[in-house]
A and B are shown apart, each in its own frame.
Chain A
């Protein structure tokens, strides 16, 4: 099976405090630690496991700039056969629809049985996979937390729904699935693996290579635009305990006892 995984490089929110830049048109990106978007990494692992069982190859694609090559190399060190960068100044400022349009143009040039994305990236929009499927007229399933290959034409997939329940469906190939975290245990990538792919050339395609419709990409083509970033005022402000650790523990014990938390 030929599998394409769409991935993105994002600030690692578990490692970073996100603050605003001085003009509040973006977050402060100077000191941020970046990594591959968490659910995208699960998607690559899932693709590798499917290919281990059925044969075929895994291609990882990202829309971005030269800096984003690092996540392609990382995923190739995990075992992906190809890493592709879609990059063009005209792509800067694209909204979700713009990103999906760029990916659609790339998909149209190849042949993929299965396309995976992560459930959502740093903007929490959970949009590109579903949009891409609709543009390709492929069936789509979101929040996928298990995949079983039934035959060359059909998958049995499970979606994560409310209360930890699972919705089981059959879906015909080719299709697009958005992968939920926890679907597998992504393999460890060592320095040795990274070094092995460090000098590979990453093929890069721009707007004219892909035949992307310029009217739907970039800032001018974006129908949804950010006006600014801000930190919301606290609704119900927490009483912050700011004493020494010992003092904080004493106060906390008092408060919890008052609420009936101590037997």
Chain B
């Protein structure tokens, strides 16, 4: 028998996160007949609207309202969840900066198994949940079997489950706030610092020359910039380039960087971690150039070339320059 499924739903500015419908779809792949319960935490009129809006997709919406939950501090929300969640259930949480904060500790406190960052769910077999995860930066996948004997907390990769159509229900909001009591934490939220704008706004460009670890050295960034110059494009990058301080944070594409919507995206020496791909929207034409033929970027690219970008990019730049000088004549 499939245990009851709870889905933790985050929200912002009165709107439930996309994960609300994605995790509902994930729950349905565990069991098509399940009627999962949404659990939401917050306070105020905007939060009330979030709870109401979830009634169209969830049969039950558990509302945890508390003054101390105005900001989603995972340390406080974990304590709130422990006061209301029964044991021996499946709890789905998005694998984002909030879920990474909340979920591992939640599994320990619930004495439940923990499966992280699943990309597929294959249902319950006996007392085990079968799931698929990725390892080694997405280069290989692995089937995992999770013992459900005392429940499970599962984090689900954002974007991995497509919301199903036509799942309208008329659910009810169940106010569990009375069970919360006092909520305090040894970690206190102070403020959010908004990212600084950089010298170049990569979100405004139609063509991006995006570089990753394969650029190898700060001195080589100029190779990408020269190509960008002849194309009227901008240079963006993946996380390792920012970590190494070769480019500013404002050039980073990904879940912890900028979301871009170019027409053409040249991924140069980028492996293609999901956190990076999460920042590429609008279905651009993706060209991947990478020395490693197993790089996951080739799974999402339209065109792939196995080559060393340090040799390939300068020759590409020269070719385009030649063409431009012919056209100019």
Which of A's residues lie within 8 Å of B, judged by CB?
11, 13-14, 17-20, 27, 96-97, 100, 119, 122-131, 133-135, 138-143, 156, 158-172, 175, 178, 181-182, 185, 223-232, 234-236, 238-242, 245-246, 248-250, 252-253, 255-256, 259-263
Contacts and interface: CB of A to CB of B under 8 A. Distances in A.
Contact of B140 (A20, A139, A169): A20
Instruction: Give the 9 A-B residue pairs with the shortest CB-CB distance, closest first.
Output: A130-B104, A164-B195, A182-B243, A134-B105, A238-B304, A261-B264, A223-B113, A134-B108, A139-B186
B257 A142 contact: no
A108 B311 CA distance: 53
B22 to A, nearest CB: 16
Contacts, number: 261
Interface string B301-315: 111111100011001
Interface of B: 73, 75, 96-97, 100-109, 113-117, 130, 133-137, 139-147, 149, 185-195, 206-207, 213, 231-233, 239-240, 242-243, 245, 249-250, 252, 255-259, 263-264, 271, 285, 287-288, 292-294, 298-307, 311-312, 315-316, 319-320, 323
A133 B252 CA distance: 31
Nearest to A11: B136
A86 B323 CA distance: 62
A239 to B, nearest CB: 5
B131 to A, nearest CB: 9
B232 A263 contact: yes
Contact of B300 (A161, A171, A236): A236
30 contacts: A18-B140, A20-B140, A97-B113, A100-B108, A122-B136, A126-B116, A134-B105, A134-B109, A139-B185, A143-B101, A161-B97, A162-B97, A162-B255, A164-B195, A164-B252, A164-B258, A165-B194, A168-B189, A168-B192, A171-B186, A225-B145, A227-B142, A227-B144, A227-B145, A229-B135, A231-B139, A239-B302, A240-B305, A259-B264, A261-B263
A252 B316 contact: yes
Nearest to A121: B135
A256 to B, nearest CB: 6
Contact of A169 (B107, B189, B292, B315): B189
Contacts of B192: 161, 165-168
Given A130-B102, A239-B303, A255-B287, 7 more contacts: A97-B113, A159-B97, A161-B97, A161-B192, A161-B256, A169-B187, A170-B187
Given A141-B187, A143-B97, A162-B255, A256 B287 contact: yes
Nearest to A183: B243
B187 A171 contact: yes
Contacts of A227: 130, 142-145
A256 B116 contact: no
B240 to A, nearest CB: 8
B316 A124 contact: no
B187 A223 contact: no
A123 B303 CA distance: 28
B265 to A, nearest CB: 9
Contact of B299 (A11, A234, A259): A234
